[in-house]
């Protein structure tokens, strides 16, 4: 009889552990989804920064050309 109680307790403990592991696995899936979303946002921010850098470089080149034409440049 003592063996049955021990086996039943062990089975209950294993079932509880299995439920907890399932919950952890679900949370890991959620974290992975959130990470993918964050990576997408970071990619968009980086692309925006690259675009702004290009626009600034173009504006700076135009200003340099204007200064040269008006003979305002130092060099």
Q: Residue 50 pLDDT more than 70?
A: yes
Residue 70: domain span: 34-75
What's the number of CA atoms in the CB half-sphere (13 Å) around residue 56?
6
Residue 20, domain member (yes or no): no
State the pLDDT at residue 74.
Answer: 72
- pTM (two decimals): 0.61
Tokens of 26: 């679900």
Q: Give yes or no for a contact between 73 and 63, defined as CB atoms under 8 angstroms apart.
A: no
Residue 63, domain member (yes or no): yes
Tell me the per-residue pLDDT of 1-49, one tens digit each, with 9 for 90 and over: 556 778 889 999 999 999 999 999 999 999 999 999 999 999 999 999 9
State the pLDDT at residue 72.
Answer: 85
Residue 2, domain member (yes or no): no
Residue 52, domain member (yes or no): yes
Which helix H or strand E contains 73, and what residues bound it?
Answer: none
Q: Give yes or no for a contact between 73 and 64, defined as CB atoms under 8 angstroms apart.
A: yes
For tokens 């626009």, the residue is 55
Residue 11, domain member (yes or no): no
The number of distinct structural domains making up the chain is 1
Residue 73, domain member (yes or no): yes
Residue 8, domain member (yes or no): no
Tell me the per-residue pLDDT of 58-74, one tens digit each, with 9 for 90 and over: 999 999 999 999 988 77
Task: Grade residue 75 by pLDDT with cuts at 50, 70 and 90.
Answer: low
């Amino acid at each position: 009889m003592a063996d049955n109680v021990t086996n039943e307790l062990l089975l209950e403990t294993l079932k509880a552990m299995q439920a907890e592991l399932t919950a952890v696995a679900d949370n890991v899936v959620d974290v992975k989804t959130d990470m993918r979303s964050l990576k997408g946002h970071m990619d968009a921010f980086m692309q925006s920064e690259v675009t702004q850098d290009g626009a600034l470089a173009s504006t700076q080149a135009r200003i340099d050309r204007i200064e040269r034409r008006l003979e305002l440049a130092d060099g």
